[in-house]
Amino acid sequence: MAVPKESAAPRSDTHAPGVGLVEAALAAAVGAAGAALAPAFGQGAAGQHIAAGAALGLLCAAALGGRATSPGAGLVWGLAAGFILWTVLPAVATVFHLFSFSPDAMLGDARARFPALVTCVAFIGAPVGVFLGTWTGLRRRTAGAYSWARAAIGGGAAGIVAALIFSRWMYVGDFYPLISGYGALGTHAGSVLLHFGVACLIGCTFGMLFQADVRNAGSAMGWGMAYAMFWWFLGQIVLLPIAAGRRADWSQARASELFGPMVGHILFGLILGIVYSCADATWKRLFVDADPLNRKRQGPGVHLLLSLGWGSLAGLCGGIAAVPLMIHSGVLPRLAGLDLGLPAAAGIVLHLVLSTLIGATYGVLFRGEAPNPVFGSMWGLVFGLIWWYAGPLTLLPLIRTGQCDWRPEAAAALMPSLVGHLVYGLVTANVFMALERRYTRWLFTDPRQAALEVRRVRPVATPAPALWVFVLGLGVLLPILLS
Shared domain check, 459 and 386: yes
pLDDT at 111 over 50: yes
Going by C-alpha positions, the residue among 26, 129, 39, 19 that lies closest to residue 78 is 129
DSSP 15-27: TS-SS-HHHHHHH
Rg (CA), the chain: 23
Chain CA centroid to CA 401, Å: 28
Shared domain check, 100 and 78: yes
Shared domain check, 164 and 283: yes
Angle, vertex CA 482, rays to CA 477 and CA 483, nearest 5 = 105
CB-CB contact of 254 with 237 (8 Å): yes
Shared domain check, 65 and 213: no
Residue 276 and residue 281: Cα distance in Å, rounded? 8
**How many folded domains does the chain comprise?**
3
Number of other CB atoms surrounding residue 357 within 10 Å: 14
Query: Domain boundary residue among 140, 157, 175?
Result: 140
Q: What is the pTM of this model?
A: 0.86
pLDDT at 96 over 60: no
Residue 227 and residue 205: Cα distance in Å, rounded? 10
Q: Taking residues 16-41, report their average pLDDT.
A: 84
Residue 473 and residue 253: Cα distance in Å, rounded? 20
pLDDT for 168-192, tens place per residue? 777 666 788 899 888 777 788 888 8
Is 295 domain-assigned?
A: no
Is 90 domain-assigned?
A: yes
Is 2 domain-assigned?
A: no
- Domain that includes residue 345, residue range: 300-481
Residue 312 and residue 60: Cα distance in Å, rounded? 40
pLDDT for 124-152, tens place per residue? 999 999 999 998 888 776 545 677 888 88
Please count the helices (runs of H) and the strands (runs of E) in the chain: 22, 0
Shared domain check, 250 and 304: no
